[in-house]
Amino acid sequence: MASIHIEAKVGDIAETILLPGDPYRAKHVAETMLTDAVCYNKVRGMLGYTGYYNGKRVSIQGSGMGMGSTAIYVNELIETYGVKNLIRVGTCGAIKTDINVGQVILAMSASGDSGANSAYFGSMHYAATADFELLQKAYEASKRLKINTIQGSIFSTDTFYDSDPHRWDKWEEHGILGVEMESQILFTLAKRLNAKALSILTVSDNIRTGEAASSKDREQSYMDMMKIAFELA
Ligand code: HPA
């Protein structure tokens, strides 16, 4: 039995999955970092692979951009395929001026403006948090691998483009490190469906200073993030 957006058979997907937004990232990482990687999904081009990292079975698949797309894959991966650990590996725009591009962030919590969140919780506010065990393991792995990380809060938005220059002021005042578009719904759904979730992000740009990573730098820090994430398998 498959799910609506994933054509894999039950059993084809590992208990631990990495979720980059970009399906071509999933393909590239599966082909360069995993052994015996098999593609289990091509529906809508949202490529998914299962293979082995240091002998441990692990999957990686694109989630698409934004919380609507992410929610579809997170639901189906947990409910149909029994996935237990979901680790987003993505990018964010830093809103703290002193965070440089290439910095790896382990997201402890995700505030946000997701319509799905307000549809479910109404006027109440759910604090979407990462799973502590995954967070702790990622932190320990980063120390072992000598990769510098910052642990903290991020913001997930439905709207990438916005013309208000002060949009992030109050969020920076409240300790938010960066902005992306997926983690809030990932954390919320994982908790609701009894799975574990974490987001590991590399800073692709600084929204305050306008600094942007060169593609070479982005590649290096992206690989650092991947190495941490695969240690969780
Ligand atoms: N906004 C939202 N998501 C992002 C950004 C951003 O500036 N940069 C990388 N992901």
Structure tokens at 172: 């920076």
**Whole-number pLDDT of residue 220:** 79
Looking at the whole model, is its pTM more than 0.95? yes
- Per residue, the 3-state secondary structure of 77-112, as one string, reads HHHCCCCCEEEEEEEEEECCCCCCCCCEEEEEEEEE
Rounded distance between C-alpha atoms, residue 61 and residue 168, angstroms: 30
Ligand 1: which of 70, 88, 91, 221 to mutate, judged by most atoms within 8 Å of the beta carbon?
91
How far is the centre of ligand 1, averaged over its atoms, from the C-alpha of 160 (Å)? Answer: 6
Which pLDDT value is given to residue 95?
Answer: 96
Is 74 touching ligand 1 by the criterion CB < 6 Å?
no
pLDDT in tens, the chain (233 residues): 799 999 999 999 999 999 999 999 999 999 999 999 999 999 999 999 999 999 999 999 999 999 999 999 999 999 999 999 999 999 999 999 999 999 999 999 999 999 998 899 999 999 999 999 999 999 999 999 999 999 999 999 999 999 999 999 999 999 999 999 999 999 999 999 999 999 999 999 999 999 998 877 777 789 999 999 999 99
- Cα(140) to centroid of ligand 1, in Å? 27
Output the pLDDT for position 105: 98
Distance between CA 106 and CA 123 in Å, rounded? Answer: 28
- With a 6 Å cutoff on the Cβ, whether 94 touches ligand 1 is no
205 is catalytic: yes
Structure confidence at residue 41 (pLDDT): 98
Q: Which domains does the chain have, with CATH numbers?
A: 16-231 (3.40.50.1580)
For the chain, the C-alpha Rg in angstroms (whole number) is 17
**pLDDT, position 72:** 98
Concatenate the DSSP letters of all residues of the chain into one string. ---SS--PPTTSS-SEEEE-S-HHHHHHHHHHH-EEEEEEE-GGG--EEEEEETTEEEEEE---SSHHHHHHHHHHHHHTT---EEEEEEEEEE-STTPPTT-EEEEEEEEE--HHHHHHHTTS---EE--HHHHHHHHHHHHHTT--EEEEEEEE-S-S----TTTTHHHHHTTEEEEESSHHHHHHHHHHTT-EEEEEEEEEEETTT--B--HHHHHHHHHHHHHHHHTT-
Ligand 1, atom 8, residue with closest C-alpha:
93
The strand pair at 85-94 and 16-19 is best described as: parallel
Residue 204 Cα, ligand 1 centroid: separation in angstroms?
A: 8
Q: Residue 216's pLDDT is what?
A: 76
Nearest CA to ligand 1 atom 10: 92
> Of the listed 36, 205, 217, 224, which one is catalytic?
205
User: Beta strand 104-112 with 149-156: parallel, antiparallel or unpaired?
Assistant: parallel
Q: Is any atom of ligand 1 closer than 6 Å to the C-beta of 207?
A: yes
